């Protein structure tokens, strides 16, 4: 059973801000992205650049299973510029 309140909260969060996702790479670097697609793209780019031996070894589901949702706050403005 899913409480109604969680749905409402989720919709409000999405409307206010793009979801921010983070993932701590095994090398210690924290990768972040805007939305699930953004994080998957950031991780794949990092793997290709830093860990070519495992580049392409993880699909989106694998990556998102390790990801955590970041709190949305004013810093998302700076990140939005960075992601361009």
The stretch near Zn ion (CB under 5 A) out of 13-21, 22-30, 57-65, 72-80 is: 22-30
| Rounded least distance, CB 32 to Zn ion, Å | 13
Residue given tokens 């969680």 in the structure block = 6
Site for Zn ion in 45-74 (CB under 5 A): 50
Which of 67, 65, 69, 63 has its CA nearest to residue 9? 69
CA distance 34 to 43: 12
The stretch near Zn ion (CB under 5 A) out of 13-21, 24-32, 58-66, 76-84 is: 24-32
Q: Contact between 18 and Zn ion (CB under 5 A)?
A: no
Tokens standing for residue 50: 């830093």
Which of 82, 47, 74, 44 has its CA nearest to residue 60? 44
| Rounded least distance, CB 66 to Zn ion, Å | 12
CA distance 67 to 37: 12
Q: Contact between 27 and Zn ion (CB under 5 A)?
A: yes
By CB under 5 A, name the binding residues for Zn ion: 25, 27, 29, 50
């Amino acid at each position: 059973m899913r409480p109604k309140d969680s749905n409402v909260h989720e919709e409000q969060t999405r409307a206010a801000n793009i979801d921010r996702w983070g993932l701590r790479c095994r090398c210690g670097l924290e990768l972040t992205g805007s939305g699930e697609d953004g994080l998957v793209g950031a991780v794949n780019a990092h793997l290709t650049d830093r860990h070519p031996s495992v580049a392409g070894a993880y699909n989106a589901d694998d990556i998102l299973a390790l990801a955590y949702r970041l709190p949305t706050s004013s810093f998302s403005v700076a990140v939005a510029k960075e992601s361009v």
